[in-house]
Amino acid sequence: MVAACNFCPFVAREIKQDSIHYQVEVSVDLATCLQSLSDECERLNNTKNIETTLLIFPQGFPGFDDYLELVSLGEKLLKKQGYEGIYQLASFHPLYRFAGSPANDAANYTNRSVYPMLHLLREESIEKALQNYPHPEGIPERNIAFARAKGPAYMKMLRDACL
């Protein structure tokens, strides 16, 4: 979620360079959705100016457990196709919930989105951006602290403003 992210300078730079690709997959078929993920890897392979892809599923995976299955299979697919260490998969879902956290924990909003989506990033670009970012190992903790300080109502408002 960009609004709550302490990593926003990287995101803002990418938007300015027009290097984010948004791909909408309307299928609800798991195999088709995984093929779309593979296709996005190929797009990144063939289009060097695109740094990151958001693969959005507006009609699929409304249940968080079904979505987690997609994420798990997507990670296995990346490894099988030789993309481990080249591309990183981040996940966002309207009902995202970190393991062991209560459903109303504001920290869950750091990975909540309007629609289920997979975020495919070039690892090389992440490493390059982090070289100039102070204390990158603390990014997740800072995001969680920010979300909890603002509270779930505020974080929900930020997400819902994207509609």
**Could you report the per-residue pLDDT of 13-26, keeping only the tens digit for each?**
445 567 899 999 99
Answer yes or no: are the C-beta atoms of 93 and 120 closer than 8 Å. Answer: no
pLDDT at position 9 over 60: no
The residue assigned the tokens 């296709």 is 39
Instruction: Report, in angstroms and rounded to the nearest whole number, the Rg of the chain calculated over CA atoms.
Output: 16
Residue 130 is predicted with a pLDDT of 86
120 closest CA partner among 3, 6, 20, 25:
20
Write the pLDDT tens digit of every residue in 52-89: 999 999 999 999 999 999 999 999 999 999 999 999 99
Beta-carbon neighbour count of residue 28 at 10 Å? 13
Its pTM stands at 0.85
